[in-house]
Amino acid sequence: MAQIGARFRGWKACVWRKSNQPAIAEAVFDLDKRSQLFSGAEQIILPITEISDDDESPIGFGFENGTGETSLQECFDHLAGSAQMRLAIQWFNSLAEARAKERLIREHAYRRISELAVPLKLAALSIDDFDRHILKIGGLVYSNGIPAEENFLPGISASELRAMFQEGKIHTVGNCTWGFGTATIRAAFARAGVKDDAVIQEKLQFALRELQNDACLFESESTEFSPIPYTALAQSGDGAFDDSASRQVDCHERQITPGTQAAGLETAFKHTVENYVVFTRFARQVQSMYGLHDLAEVDAFFSHYVDLSPEERERILELFGKEGPIITILNPPYPLTQCTQETGVDEATLARWVRAIHRKGRPSSMARPARARPTSPKSWRST
Task: Provide the binding-site residues for another protein, judged by CB under 8 A.
Answer: 1-9, 11-17, 19-22, 24-30, 34, 37-40, 46-51, 359-360, 362-372, 374-377, 379-381, 383
Min CB(42)–another protein separation in Å: 10
Residue 168 or residue 374: which is nearer to another protein going by CB? 374
Min CB(369)–another protein separation in Å: 5
Residue 322 or residue 371: which is nearer to another protein going by CB? 371
Residue 96 or residue 372: which is nearer to another protein going by CB? 372
Residue 190 or residue 350: which is nearer to another protein going by CB? 190
Q: Distance (Å, rounded) from C-alpha 16 to C-alpha 244?
A: 45
Residue 96 or residue 367: which is nearer to another protein going by CB? 367
Rounded to 10°, the helix 83-93/295-306 angle is 100
Min CB(172)–another protein separation in Å: 30
Min CB(59)–another protein separation in Å: 15
Residue 19 or residue 67: which is nearer to another protein going by CB? 19
Q: Distance (Å, rounded) from C-alpha 364 to C-alpha 53?
A: 15
Min CB(7)–another protein separation in Å: 7
Residue 32 or residue 323: which is nearer to another protein going by CB? 32
Residue 96 or residue 366: which is nearer to another protein going by CB? 366
3-state secondary structure the chain: CHHHHHHCCCCCCCCCHHHCCHHHHHHHHCHHHHHHHHHCCCCCCCCCCCCCHHHHCCCCCCCCCCCCCCCHHHHHHHHHCCHHHHHHHHHHHCCHHHHHHHHHHHHHHHHHHHHHCCHHHHHHCCHHHHHHHHHCCCEEEECCCCECCCCCCCCCCHHHHHHHHHCCCEEEECCCCCCHHHHHHHHHHHHCCCCCHHHHHHHHHHHHHHHHHHHCHHHHHCEEECCCCCHHHHCCHHHHHCHHHHHHCCHHHCCEEECCCHHHHHHHHHHHHHHHHHHHHHHHHHHHHHCCCCHHHHHHHHHHHHCCCHHHHHHHHHHHHCCCCCCCCCCCCCCHHHHHHHHCCCHHHHHHHHHHHHHHCCCCCCCCCCCCCCCCHHHHHHC
Min CB(340)–another protein separation in Å: 22
Residue 18 or residue 322: which is nearer to another protein going by CB? 18
Min CB(382)–another protein separation in Å: 9
In Å, how far are 181, 282, 297, 372 from 134, measured between CA atoms? 6, 20, 18, 55
Min CB(351)–another protein separation in Å: 19
Min CB(213)–another protein separation in Å: 37
